[in-house]
Structure 1
Amino acid sequence: MLVDAPYIPASIIEIEAQKAFETGKSRSAFGRQLATLALRGGALAVFIGVLAVFSVSAPFFLTVGNIGNVLGQSAIAGVLAIGLTIVIIAGGSNVVTGGIDLSLAANMGLSAAVYASLVQAGQGDGVAILGALGTGLAIGAVNAAAVTLAGIVPLLATLAVMNVVAGLELVLTQNTVVPASTDFLSALSAGGPFGIPVLAYVLLGFTLIVAAVVQYTPLGLRLYAVGAFPDAARAAGLPIKTFVAGSFLASGLTGGIAGILSVSYLSGSTTGAGDMLLPIVVTALLGTVFSRRLVPTITGTLLSALFVGFLVNGFQLLNISSTLVSGVQGLLILLFVSATTLLGRKETA
């Protein structure tokens, strides 16, 4: 004997389905918020833990002088990481299809070589500065054209530009050190107030200026909109390609600035600038976990630069091999990408 199922109006079914959907959506949002909080809290806990361990095991680790040295040593990588952060903000944080600039380290090397070569040729600091900044902007313009005009994925475009720029540096310097010494360079590499290097003040000042523009002006808000919500930004009439191109120009300019800082720090142009690529990427990516909503920020990048700088400094004070530092940096990238990928999947679900 068959029993007819009770009749349930379609409206009731729709209401219950909507309730179930809203409940699932609420649980998903709560789960993501919890995961985000755990990631941020874990990053801060690791930061504090590293400081605590090194302060106990390494003498003079948390002294004002050593903190100033860490800031000074982190100035070059910090400036480059801020440039990379701007590209990530405008292009999106996806490390494969989003914003990335792998040419920054090579950009710094060529800009430093141009600066040192101009000084060697008898030019003054003014001409050398313009040469270094112009070199960085030119490299940024090539990246911008490759991405926005040719339509090449930033990862591949900047990888190709990186190799070209590295080759140009070798041609210009003949793979040798180009020494440079001027009053301006001596002032940059000198100690400042409270025994803190001038380079540390340069990093802090540069960070404040860029953070004020990117995080607290309409220009910066549009930059975030282009990277995070490109379809909505396009519908609102924002010129997507213009903002992306501008981010690469800004990144290129930071390469020129870092080139000048590098010449002052090393008293000339040296080979091996490509070795800085990993610390730059680590610093820019880890800066996301120091922000409130896990988005790339300039201030978060500064905190990340300090974290990486303290990590390297602590290893140096404990006479730990530098090769282990590179391994730790690679592990940090792996952990960050894994965590953000899982969060992205949870949000999509």
Structure 2
Amino acid sequence: MRITFVLPYADLSGGVRVVAIHARKLQEKGHHVEVISFPRKRPPLKARVKHFLKHLRPYPFLSQGPTHLESMEVPWTIMERPGPLKDEDLPEADVLVLTWWETVEWTRGLSLSRGVPCHFVQAYEIFGGPKEKVDEVLSLPTFKITVSKWLEELLEKRFSPPGLALVPNSVDLERFRVPPRGKQELPTAGVMYSTTPNKGCDLAFAAFEEARRRDPRLRLVSFGHPESPREPPLPEGATYFSEPAQEEIPGIYASCDVWIFPGRNEGFGLPILEAMACRTPVVATPAGAAPEILQDGRGVLVPQDDPKAMAEGILRVTSMEEEAWKELSGKAREFTESYTWDDASRLFERALEEALSLASSSH
């Protein structure tokens, strides 16, 4: 197959990592794969002024910064500007994989010579655009691929796509590999830092403070993209790693006894699998794929937006006896080994073939 992926922009986000891995895996299978992305939209003047007044430094705008695509050795083109595309902007293809609601809009006028459109839904993207516009795009009769059961159910019940495939994400088992270990000398929790409200860092920090009131030895480790987190502020005494190198991240996960996943609106939640691959048990809200990943005692699920319940979950893991913790740690790693990116790639390839078959039968 000739396959073109269209990204809104290419960065170090989990969603871009997933696209980059699928593109590389499909290329390794002998398919002709290309990736198209766009420069980031420059923030409006009002947003840049507000940022400067709050942080006393210019808005850190880069039209193209570091991205997971750089290491994948897949043909990649950055368009000059975001917005609607014409046939001449894209190569001929069999399938056009659209990875964000706006990329669906930008390609609606293209001929089928640029590929049968297939919408890769990694989240319910109302956090990135007007709900009515996102819903309008999801209502279009395009074949859809998604990454978690809750998104599959949402798409089936509300948007009735002509075809729908579930392709859960995996994790790079070689990159996120650490030796078996015991608990830390001081109980340690970790969380990925984000200023985006749907990521729930405020919930994680409130839960940590509640847990620390009951166990003053508890430490917090965090990493993320902001140089110096301000909103929400890190708890006092927390250790923060700003934009760590990719090879340093497994060590951060492995320095913790428990990893907190506090999401409110998540498509999947790659940090859950990354932490588990690094043998770190997870306490999570039922966001993204957390319910199916952590079922059968593979981790701890807590109610949404309940810091006291999350604190209980944190302490439940950190207070485990050494052997019980090691058993949970091993179970976490074992689960990640049961479904690989090769498995995910086979499902993705099958979904693209299904989209092509459906399109040919309807013409």
**Range class of TM-score, shorter chain:** under 0.3
Structure of greater Rg:
1
Q: Which structure has the highest strand share of the two?
A: 2
Which is helix-richer, 1 or 2?
A: 1
